Amino acid sequence: MIIDPGASWTVDRDLVASKSRNTPFHGYELPGVITHTFFNGTPTLMNGTIVESSGAR
């Protein structure tokens, strides 16, 4: 995981990647932004964009 600690973001229930849209943090501005994530060395989030899987799950 790569984090930009100097950035911030505002929680929007419509943009959260979750099946549930309930969040007590909707509208809150939070510090730090996750910019990249990896699973078994494969990128899953790059510059805040979800990377589509090219393999079977």
Residue 5 and residue 32 in contact, taking contact as beta carbons nearer than 8 Å: yes
pTM for the whole structure: 0.68
Q: Is 2 a residue whose pLDDT tops 90?
A: yes
What does CATH list as the number for 2-50? Answer: 2.30.40.10
Q: Does the pLDDT at position 50 exceed 70? A: yes
Asked whether 43 and 36 are in contact (CB, 8 A), the reply is yes
Close Cβ partners of 15 (under 8 Å, ≥ 6 residues apart): none
Question: Rounded mean pLDDT of 5-18?
Answer: 90
pLDDT at 57 over 70: no
pLDDT at 42 over 90: yes
- Domain positions in the chain are 2-50
